[in-house]
């Protein structure tokens, strides 16, 4: 199955990743080659095989619900590209 530039643009929307025309063209070809290579998995008979998500055999690991120290607000805000004293600033998302 061919990966088209239209499909690359749809992936860009899903991944929130801007892409220009030249990169979309190049990616379509590169992704096609990699997905073509991955297609070999269809040769493997996996009927009745349960998919493996982790090899440690762990599920729903919980730790004791004990309060502990957390980062101070100032420490968290320090890495934000736009901030005031108490919050991270973002462009307006609600029009009124």
Which chain residues interact with other proteins by CB under 8 A?
3, 8, 11-12, 14-19, 23, 27, 30-31, 33-35, 37-38, 40-42, 44, 46, 49-56, 58, 61, 63-64, 71, 75-76, 78-82, 88, 90-91, 93
> Shortest gap between Cβ of 67 and other proteins (angstroms)?
14
CB of 49 to other proteins, least distance (A): 4
Burial status of residue 83 (CB atoms within 10 A of its CB: 0-12, 13-18, 19 or more): middle
Residue 39 half-sphere exposure toward CB, CA atoms < 13 A: 9
Residue 29 beta carbon to other proteins: minimum distance, rounded to whole angstroms: 11
Residue 9 vs residues 4, 12, 37, 64, 71: alpha-carbon distances, Å = 9, 5, 22, 45, 39
55 or 86: CB nearest other proteins: 55
């Amino acid at each position: 199955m061919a990966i088209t530039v239209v499909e690359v643009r749809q992936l860009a929307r899903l991944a929130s990743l801007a892409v220009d025309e030249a990169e979309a063209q190049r990616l379509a070809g590169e992704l096609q080659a990699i997905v073509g290579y991955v297609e070999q998995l269809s040769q493997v008979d996996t009927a009745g095989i349960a998919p493996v998500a982790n090899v440690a055999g762990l599920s729903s690991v919980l730790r004791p619900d004990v309060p502990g120290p957390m980062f101070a607000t100032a420490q968290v805000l320090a890495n934000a590209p736009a901030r005031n004293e108490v919050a991270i600033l973002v462009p307006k998302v609600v029009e009124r």
